[in-house]
Amino acid sequence: MAASSAVLSMSKIIKPIWGGRLATTAKVFGATVSSRREKSTVPPPAKYGGRHTVTLIPGDGIGPELLNHVRELFRFSCVPVDFEVVNVCSATEDDINNAITAIRRNGVALKGRRNTLTMSPPVSLSPSTTLDLYANVMHCKSLPGVQTRHNNIDIMIIRENTEGEYSSLEHESVSGVVECLKIITRTNSLRIAEYAFKLAREKGRKRVTAVHKANIMKLGDGLFLQCCREVAAGYPDIAFDAMIVDNTTMQLVSKPQQFDVMVMPNLYGNVVSNVCAGLVGGPGLVPGANYGRDYAVFETATRNTGKSIADRNIANPTAMLLASCMMLDHLKLHDYATMIRNAVLTTMNETQLHTADIGGQGTTSEVVQAIMRNIQSKGPLTSEL
């Protein structure tokens, strides 16, 4: 974090003097300051004393108890991560601003879900838009130990996270008539499409499908689709096709195995990711990640508060634990990530240790204990159980 901010401040000084020769000058300083669309080489995350600091936002509902389990597990596995807990209790702007400042400072966060049904500040002030976490990535994969109606699902969903229908721009111009604005911009559409294709290439995926409703929203989704096509032209090794959102959801419930990587605007992403989460076993199993250029926030994919099952020790910790593994991967602590992920998946495949949402009878703490035992039996030095 320190290195990149130093480069940025240097570039602010250089820019007025050198103008267009910014890139060549900055190279002298050992980092490449990129043009607007190229991915900058991010320096490794800061480790002070060899330990990372991660912002933790407990949220409401099942968030606090699940995040406690994550901390318990990290402490047990001696993961070099410290959590800076920021509570967003009331729905005032101050709390949210504190959380955003903490994330800016640490660069990474793990969060539970805030209850948004009460009168809350608009989405435009939420962490996703303020920190420009433009890509929400969800990987839905059928797990062998979980019994579902469909098998062999392996879909990555990349959802634009900052604009679209979630712009929170609404007004009541005439009494009884409300206009909600859905914003689609060329910049953001190109950016998310670029992200999708780059991710597909990194993960060795063969096909990207854009989901849209351009037959009705011709300008808006038409622009999105056009941007995806432009980006697709630069990746000839990856097949690209487009599908209308209603047909997509129908295909998802009959033949989900046909989908590989999907990219879409905000609202369709919300619906499609929930459908896919339901197909692979429910909201307790799928982790989600929100990536921006400089920050990353990890959470459960379907963003449920879980108010009705809070504090009853029956929530499924899998989604949150897998989200913490994604966070460890982001911090380049791959060994720890693989260790915890393997333990979680092994525990999932022992059927009697399922929680209620996937048809078992285990409690949250039993599942976490089993995961810890699994880690201990694999060998590396851990704290006492």
Q: Residue numbers of the site for other proteins (CB under 8 A)? A: 116-117, 120, 123, 149-150, 165-166, 168, 170-172, 175-187, 213-220, 222-223, 245-247, 249-254, 267, 270-271, 273-275, 277-279, 282-283, 302, 304
In angstroms, what CA-CA distances link 74 with 19, 242, 342? 47, 42, 14
As measured in angstroms, the least distance from the Cβ of 345 to other proteins is: 21
Nearer to other proteins, 179 or 311 (CB): 179
Q: Cα 268 from chain centroid?
A: 16
Pairing of strands 207-212, 287-291: unpaired
Nearer to other proteins, 245 or 348 (CB): 245
Six token digits for residue 369: 């204990």
Q: Cα 18 from chain centroid?
A: 38
DSSP assignment of 8-51:
HHHHHHHHHHHGGGHHHHHHTTTS-PPPSSSPP-PPPPP-BTTB
As measured in angstroms, the least distance from the Cβ of 281 to other proteins is: 9
In angstroms, what CA-CA distances link 266 with 118, 163, 234, 256, 299? 22, 7, 24, 20, 17
As measured in angstroms, the least distance from the Cβ of 119 to other proteins is: 8
Nearer to other proteins, 24 or 173 (CB): 173
Nearer to other proteins, 38 or 246 (CB): 246
Indicate the DSSP class of residue 150.
S
Nearer to other proteins, 93 or 179 (CB): 179
Nearer to other proteins, 52 or 213 (CB): 213
C-alpha–C-alpha distance, residues 249 and 252, integer Å: 5
Q: Where are the beta strands (DSSP E) in 86-128?
A: 108-111
As measured in angstroms, the least distance from the Cβ of 167 to other proteins is: 9
As measured in angstroms, the least distance from the Cβ of 25 to other proteins is: 29
As measured in angstroms, the least distance from the Cβ of 150 to other proteins is: 7
